[in-house]
Amino acid sequence: MKKEEIGHHFLARLGITRLRLGGKVATDWLMANGDFRRGKKVLEVACNTGITAIDIAKQFECQVIGIDIDEEALEKARQNIRDSEIEHLVSVQQAEATRLPFEDNSFDIVINEAMLTMLSPEAKEQAIREYLRVLKPNGFLLTHDVLLNSDNGDEITEKLRDAIGVSVTPLSKEGWKETFQQGGFRNVETFTGEMSLLSPKGMIFDDGVLGAVKIVGNALKAENREAAKKMFNIFNDPQNHLGFIAVCSQK
Ligand SMILES: C[S@@+](CC[C@H](N)C(=O)[O-])C[C@H]1O[C@@H](n2cnc3c(N)ncnc32)[C@H](O)[C@@H]1O
């Protein structure tokens, strides 16, 4: 990993297209619970290169707006949207999750994968307040994050921070539930499981055999090997101290 390069940029450089902790299995659970239907207005926070936003629009004919702070990722998203000929349904713009540039009650669904863990507790609360504000009454919030399964949380969190170069704050299942409940959401349902982002099975399932081979090949290159080893070790910990949690809650 180049000095100062943060984890998701490094993983994208290895060839990982989506940085979801629980992979497609977790996203599919969110899709099944979010009441996606034709004509619904969806906000994807942290859309990165737009792959999920495009999928949602294609699958359900929803109107999707994606936001992210990373202008470079958004440029790729715009290209992906054009390549998919889906400009009539998907658009992206630069914005900060804690200060959304949208009116109150404007979306049916807010989806936010692999981002809240990256925020401090205060910023998490502020982002969740924003999601509540922009959702219509009864609207769904769908999130997907790192689950902390350990009593030794501080040590594991420190290892994760060191591996990905971001001051992340993963939470336990109860911690995540309380965060959404205290943020004003109801019907908070969770789905948890093993982290699959860098597991052989997860990579093959999400990126196909060729994609997985390419990722491993890139990880083995001399300039990537050390950083990749740290990440593979923490994400594939045999004791499963870290997992994924998908959460569906309602305004
Ligand atoms: C780990 S990536 C996940 C991307 C995508 N959701 C996925 O699952 O593949 C985290 C993304 O969150 C974005 N991000 C981080 N903090 C943000 C914030 N405060 N507001 C909006 N986007 C943010 C980053 O730019 C990056 O694209």
111 lines ligand 1 (CB under 6 A): no
Which residue did the predictor score with more confidence, 212 or 1?
212
Confidence category of residue 120, pLDDT binned at 50, 70, 90: very high
Q: Reply yes or no on whether the pLDDT at 1 is more than 60.
A: no
How many whole angstroms separate alpha carbon 195 and alpha carbon 233? 12
Q: Is 2 buried (19+), middle (13-18) or exposed (0-12) by CB count in 10 A?
A: exposed
Confidence category of residue 208, pLDDT binned at 50, 70, 90: confident
Residue with CA nearest ligand 1 atom 25: 70
Confidence category of residue 23, pLDDT binned at 50, 70, 90: confident
Ligand 1: residue of 68, 100, 110, 116 to mutate (most ligand atoms within 8 A of CB) is: 68
Ligand 1: residue of 48, 93, 96, 145 to mutate (most ligand atoms within 8 A of CB) is: 48
Confidence category of residue 176, pLDDT binned at 50, 70, 90: very high
pTM of the model: 0.92
- Once rounded to an integer, what is the mean pLDDT over residues 160-166? 84
55 lines ligand 1 (CB under 6 A): no
3-state secondary structure of 28: helix
- Once rounded to an integer, what is the mean pLDDT over residues 218-239? 85
In b/e form, how buried is each residue of 231-244, taking b as 16+ CB within 10 angstroms? bbebbbbeeebbbb
125 lines ligand 1 (CB under 6 A): no
State the Cα angle at 99 between 181 and 79, rounded to 5°.
Answer: 110
Which residue did the predictor score with more confidence, 3 or 140?
140
Tell me the pLDDT tens digit for each residue of 234-244. Answer: 888 888 889 99
How many whole angstroms separate alpha carbon 204 and alpha carbon 211? 7
- Once rounded to an integer, what is the mean pLDDT over residues 213-234? 87
* pLDDT value at residue 4: 59
- Once rounded to an integer, what is the mean pLDDT over residues 138-163? 90
8 lines ligand 1 (CB under 6 A): yes
**Secondary element (H or E) of residue 67:** strand 63-68
Q: Reply yes or no on whether the pLDDT at 179 is more than 90.
A: yes
